[in-house]
Amino acid sequence: MGEFDLIRRFFQRGDGTQAGVDVGIGDDCAVLTPGPGAQLCISSDMLVEGRHFLSTVEPARLGHKALAVNLSDLAACGATPRAFTLALALPRADERWLAGFAEGLFALADAHGIALVGGDTTQGPLNLCITVFGEVPRGTALLRSGARAGDDIYVSGRTLGDARLALEVFRGTLGLPGEQFEAVRRAMELPQPRVALGQALRGVATSAVDVSDGLCGDLGHILARSGVGAVLEVDALPRSAILEAQPPAVRREMGLAGGDDYELVFTAPPSSREAVQQAAGQSATPVSRIGRIEAAAGLRFVDAQGQVLPLQLQSFDHFKTA
């Protein structure tokens, strides 16, 4: 199977005509027409074998995750997904692997109504890079820079930290019974990007970021870009029953600094609490209020009684040596 056969067989679908796509796969560039008055939101995320995923992951789940992590960035900007490109380095053209990968990839693409419009394919160590293109009405993109002192801090989803629990099981630092491991493994391998919530938060949230490297680290980006600090109520974080059953130190570490959660952390003034609940209801996505933005720089932690907790946490950093 040659390079072009591979593209045609696994990545080119139908006759290539899709809403909003003037030219898709097969020419030198894809050509898209943005909606009237729209701004483009563009983001890339790369997944490297051994770094972001294990060689044993089911190909369909890898296809899902490669697109999910990118859609999560669009969600954090409140963007409506439009299209994506896929740059792929493969050690060999393994048909079973390619079929599975494409199945997971397109299932999520179809769920969000977006088209694969181009990419690049080369032989090499397994490496996936997706670029997503989304749109917002001009001036409405949610940014990291808009948080203000007094704003509430929210996080989406029912649990933070399950994906990291799965990683720790793979690393052998903790053990879980079979069905619990399967559940946290799903959280790690099949994250659900909060696209509908992000869109519903346009005009409501003052800032947003998606949690890829851990809640504290990613909230830290909001604080830095907005020039503010925050207090987090550690026990208000949403936790699964599986994480709840872990020792307190593990529970806090996984929730606050776990990573790979792909939930949205966002801020909004207390006057918008009802609007936030409406956005959550409209997008069928649970949200929890977990803290408050303050004028003084830094991130502080309190328990449910408001007692200060002296926690030291680090978020995931690819270039930091332990």
Residues in contact with Mg ion by CB under 5 A are: 28
Q: How far is the CB of 23 from ligand ADP (least distance, A)?
A: 9
Count of alpha carbons within 13 angstroms of residue 230, beta-carbon side? 30
Other CB atoms within a 10 A radius of the CB of residue 138 amount to 10
- Of 27 and 110, which CB lies nearer to Mg ion in the complex structure? 27
Which segments of 148-269 does DSSP mark as H helices, in order? 162-171, 178-189, 195-200, 215-226, 241-244, 248-257
**Contact partner, 140, from Mg ion, ligand ADP, none, Cβ < 5-8 Å per class:** none
For residues 111 and 92, what is the distance between their CA atoms, to the nearest angstrom?
Answer: 29
Q: How far is the CB of 114 from Mg ion (least distance, A)?
A: 23
Q: How far is the CB of 33 from Mg ion (least distance, A)?
A: 21
In terms of Cα–Cα distance, which of 82, 258, 257, 275 is closest to 266?
Answer: 275
- Of 28 and 274, which CB lies nearer to ligand ADP in the complex structure? 28
Q: Give yes or no for a contact between 165 and 176, defined as CB atoms under 8 angstroms apart.
A: yes
- Of 26 and 298, which CB lies nearer to ligand ADP in the complex structure? 26
Q: Tokens 């208000």, residue?
A: 236
**Contact partner, 77, from ligand ADP, Mg ion, none, Cβ < 5-8 Å per class:** none
- Of 7 and 215, which CB lies nearer to ligand ADP in the complex structure? 7
**Where does this chain bind ligand ADP (CB under 6 A)?**
7, 11, 25-28, 86, 88, 116, 118-121
**Contact partner, 217, from Mg ion, ligand ADP, none, Cβ < 5-8 Å per class:** none
* Cα-Cα end-to-end distance for the chain: 43
**Contact partner, 223, from ligand ADP, Mg ion, none, Cβ < 5-8 Å per class:** none
**Contact partner, 25, from ligand ADP, Mg ion, none, Cβ < 5-8 Å per class:** ligand ADP
Q: How far is the CB of 87 from Mg ion (least distance, A)?
A: 14
Burial class (CB in 10 A: 0-12, 13-18, 19+), 14: exposed
- Of 28 and 244, which CB lies nearer to Mg ion in the complex structure? 28
